[in-house]
A and B are shown apart, each in its own frame.
Chain A
Amino acid sequence: MTFPESNDRRKKIGQAVMFGVSKGISYGIVALLFLILFFIIKQGIGVISWEFLTAMPTDGMTKGGIYPAIIGTLYLVGGSMLFAFPVGVMAGIYVNEYAVSGPMKRFINMMTNNLAGVPSIIFGLFGMALFVNQMGFGASILAGSLTLGLLALPIVIRTTEESLKSVDDTFRQASYALGGSKLYTIRKVVLPIALPNILTGLILAVGRVSGETAPILFTVAAYFLPRLPNSIMDQCMALPYHLYVISTSGTQIEASRPIAYGTAFVLVAIVLIVNILAALLRNYFGKKVKMN
């Protein structure tokens, strides 16, 4: 109290400095992201051409395109969502609409959290032990898709649960009052309102799955397979594994650098497109639901 003025000034200067520092760090992190994106886009964009996207790799993967890897990733993403989407949405419905709060619900939530926290290489080990060996699928699109589907499951469950939670209870009560059963209410009232948010979650899960490498290492990914897969019991190439392979192994790492930059560019482009799509969807439907 003796020198209120100087104390006050010190306080102000201290605050200004700390605010500046935390602001600087925040923008620094954003700048870092842009640096990574810019670097990969700048190095990769020159490689991208119609031929790069639609041709087979040639010359020990130093020339040609990445067509089989793109197709392989599409198969894997599609296959994993075929499993994770219905199961995950139904699990989300159960947790939010049916499960009564108590130890059982807490247990389910804990298990979903645990599943989300399991490292991706563990999914790879598990997929190899269960799908590839025990069930005898071998290294195949089927085994890889199921493994990736397990990894995507907690994401779908979480987003479904959150989306359902945000649906106002009055909608449900109105439906019950009109004689709708529980399932009928969920199907006709709750799900349509929550659908945009659920779809956003699905899109984000697609983004996650398309870039995962560790789960497919031993379950499906082929080092070099310059043809398209014939069936779901076939191996296939995949974008993230392709990037790993051509940037770390092989004898011509330098020669295949352009291909690596191009592959990284495609992966980053998928992530950007997926995130922008999700943001647009959320914005567009977010407004629409509010109006109702």
Chain B
Amino acid sequence: MRLRKITEPVFERLIKICGYSSGFIVLLIVIFLFKEGISFFNLSPVDEGSTLWVHNSNPVKELDAAQIKDIFDQKIDNWKAIGGNDQPIELFTLDELGEAFTAEQLGPKFEYLPKCIDSYMDSLPGAIGFFPEKQTVGLLKSAKEVEVDKVSFSTFISDTEWFPTSRPAARMGIMPLLLGTLLVSFFAILFALPLGLAASIYLAEIADDRVRKILKPIIELLAGIPSVVYGFFGLVVIVPFVQNTFNLPVGETALAGSIVLAIMALPTIITVSEDALRTTPRAMKEASLALGASQWQTIRKVIVPYAASGITAAAILGIGRAIGETMAALMVTGNSAIMPHSLLQPVRTIPATIAAELGEAPFGGLHFKALFALGCILFIITLIINLLVERVSAKRR
């Protein structure tokens, strides 16, 4: 008895701590995700230590990641296009030094490297040079360093290109990924909602109890199948189906993703909206039937409107599931991070991007942090969705 007096409070304290565990974990997730994610901003889009140089006479002082990529992709070939003098842009990287100078001129330990670069840059007023390490280059007399715009939240959100590993400057705009995610999820719900609603009406109002008791667990089993199995099924069945039906070069498209995610969202939609339909008070149903309405009219005019907010919650939850789904989206959407124009082209979703790229991103680097920032965006989206669901269902009560 006395022992219990000591152990009981200890246990009760332990129970209380565990009770707060989910709140604590959500907090930890926020801290760790955002710590890495926020440190992404204000980094330079070029590799650490690397620098860009232009000729002293060049009036261009600042460049952003998009301009740098266009310059090195040779899409911009005249300084005039970015506010400089009217002269062609000459690309100059360390690799070209080997051609321009002999080994003797560079010196046995490359000790004359800065001198060589200097004289080379001097001879080309339109040159832009990209040198990996400041130390190897030293300070140039003929050239000046160009400032590179830091990664900002607004370019992260609005830029339409996602080339996280391109050099000299990475372009990290989440627009194509965000739109890809929304496109796939939107159509997944467009397919799943009418089907799910019809099934939930059947289960809640039409089927007799015996049938319902058999169908319900079977439909719930759909939720138990692992997403990687759905992805695999999509890969070997739905992708070829889409490819053959629409005569496409590849079947891994937004449409294939939408179909697979629609199947995966079905059990959520059915369970939640069936529960909502069941809450309709018996008196309302019977009043409608007593006025001469048929059973279907009662469903359409009384039960569904009464459950509207629950059905909305089901749809929102379904969208949330689709947006956050990783493996199936990764396996069937084709993974091409370009702005989506149609359902029949490959796209890439946010979670798929994280899953595909994090393994290859150097730890703690720009790309690594960009993926955490992407995770923050995804987390915020799902948080908003959860709060929306909470609000919509709170209204009912």
Interface of A with B (CB < 8 Å)?
11-12, 14-15, 18-19, 21-23, 25-26, 28-30, 32-33, 36, 39-40, 86-88, 90-91, 93-95, 98-99, 107-108, 110-115, 117-122, 124-126, 128-130, 133-134, 150, 153-154, 157, 181-184, 204, 207-208, 210-214, 217-218, 240-241, 243-244, 247-248, 257, 260, 264, 267-268, 271-272, 274-275, 279
Q: List 26 A-B contacts (CB under 8 A).
A: A26-B199, A26-B203, A26-B207, A30-B219, A33-B219, A86-B18, A87-B18, A93-B19, A98-B16, A99-B19, A111-B22, A111-B23, A119-B326, A121-B355, A122-B33, A122-B379, A125-B372, A129-B372, A184-B8, A207-B224, A211-B229, A240-B327, A244-B228, A244-B331, A248-B235, A271-B226
Q: Across the interface, which residues of A come within 8 angstroms of B207, CB to CB? A: 23, 26
B35 nearest CB neighbor, chain A only: A129
- CB of A211 within 8 A of CB of B227, answer yes
Q: Across the interface, which residues of A come within 8 angstroms of B314, CB to CB? A: none
- CB of B19 within 8 A of CB of A267, answer no
Query: With A26-B199, A274-B224 given, is the CB distance from A33 to B218 under 8 Å?
Result: yes
Give the complex CA separation of A225 and B222 in angstroms: 31
Q: Give min CB distance, B378 to chain A, whole Å.
A: 6
- CB of A268 within 8 A of CB of B225, answer yes
**Majority SS at the chain B contact face:** helix
- CB of A22 within 8 A of CB of B331, answer no
- CB of B15 within 8 A of CB of A217, answer no
| Complex partner residue of A268 from B20, B229, B295, B327, CB under 8 angstroms | B229
Give the complex CA separation of A86 and B19 in angstroms: 11
- CB of B15 within 8 A of CB of A115, answer no
- CB of B229 within 8 A of CB of A112, answer no
| Complex partner residue of B231 from A88, A122, A208, A244, CB under 8 angstroms | A244
Q: Across the interface, which residues of B come within 8 angstroms of A248, CB to CB? A: 235, 330-331
B364 nearest CB neighbor, chain A only: A133
Interface size range of chain B in the complex: 35 or more
In the complex, given contacts A26-B199, A117-B320, what are 16 additional A-B residue pairs having Cβ atoms less than 8 angstroms apart?
A: A18-B296, A29-B270, A30-B215, A40-B233, A118-B379, A119-B378, A121-B351, A121-B378, A122-B29, A122-B324, A124-B358, A183-B11, A211-B228, A214-B355, A271-B225, A271-B226
Stretch from B54-62, B81-89, B171-179, B381-389 at the A interface: B381-389
Q: Give min CB distance, B5 to chain A, whole Å.
A: 9
Query: With A12-B294, A14-B296, A23-B206 given, is the CB distance from A36 to B198 under 8 Å?
Result: no
Q: Across the interface, which residues of B come within 8 angstroms of A33, CB to CB? A: 218-219, 221-222
A270 nearest CB neighbor, chain B only: B226
- CB of A126 within 8 A of CB of B29, answer yes
Q: Across the interface, which residues of B come within 8 angstroms of A128, CB to CB? A: 358
Q: Tell me whether B128 is interfacial, beta carbon within 8 Å.
A: no
Q: Across the interface, which residues of A come within 8 angstroms of B235, CB to CB? A: 247-248
Q: Give min CB distance, B353 to chain A, whole Å.
A: 9
Query: With A118-B29, A153-B25 given, is the CB distance from A181 to B237 under 8 Å?
Result: no
Q: Across the interface, which residues of A come within 8 angstroms of B297, CB to CB? A: 11, 15
Q: Tell me whether B153 is interfacial, beta carbon within 8 Å.
A: no
Give the complex CA separation of A154 and B24 in angstroms: 12
Q: Across the interface, which residues of A come within 8 angstroms of B101, CB to CB? A: none
- CB of B229 within 8 A of CB of A267, answer yes
Give the complex CA separation of A246 and B221 in angstroms: 25
Q: Across the interface, which residues of A come within 8 angstroms of B14, CB to CB? A: 90
Q: Tell me whether B266 is interfacial, beta carbon within 8 Å.
A: yes
Give the complex CA separation of A150 and B355 in angstroms: 19
- CB of B263 within 8 A of CB of A32, answer yes
Query: With A15-B295, A30-B215 given, is the CB distance from A120 to B233 under 8 Å?
Result: no
Query: With A33-B222, A118-B379 given, is the CB distance from A153 to B22 under 8 Å?
Result: yes
Please report which residues of chain B, range 305-359, place their CB below 8 angstroms from some CB of chain A when the two chains form the complex: 317, 320, 323-327, 330-331, 351, 354-355, 358-359
Interface of B with A (CB < 8 Å)?
4, 8, 11-12, 14-16, 18-23, 25-26, 28-29, 32-33, 35-36, 195, 198-199, 201-203, 206-207, 215, 217-219, 221-222, 224-233, 235-237, 263, 266, 270, 294-297, 317, 320, 323-327, 330-331, 351, 354-355, 358-359, 363, 371-372, 375, 378-379, 382-383, 385-386, 390
- CB of A157 within 8 A of CB of B22, answer yes
Which of A128, A214, A241, A264 has the most chain B CB atoms inside 10 A of its CB?
Answer: A214
| Complex partner residue of B227 from A30, A87, A213, CB under 8 angstroms | A213
Q: Give min CB distance, B383 to chain A, whole Å.
A: 7
Which of B35, B202, B229 has the most chain A CB atoms inside 10 A of its CB?
Answer: B229
- CB of B218 within 8 A of CB of A30, answer yes
Q: Across the interface, which residues of B come within 8 angstroms of A18, CB to CB? A: 296
- CB of A90 within 8 A of CB of B355, answer no
A204 nearest CB neighbor, chain B only: B224
- CB of A91 within 8 A of CB of B18, answer yes
- CB of A119 within 8 A of CB of B18, answer no
Q: Across the interface, which residues of B come within 8 angstroms of A87, CB to CB? A: 18, 21
- CB of B372 within 8 A of CB of A267, answer no
Q: Across the interface, which residues of A come within 8 angstroms of B23, CB to CB? A: 107-108, 111
| Complex partner residue of A126 from B33, B229, B331, CB under 8 angstroms | B33
Q: Across the interface, which residues of A come within 8 angstroms of B15, CB to CB? A: 90-91, 93-94, 98
Q: Across the interface, which residues of B come within 8 angstroms of A28, CB to CB? A: 195
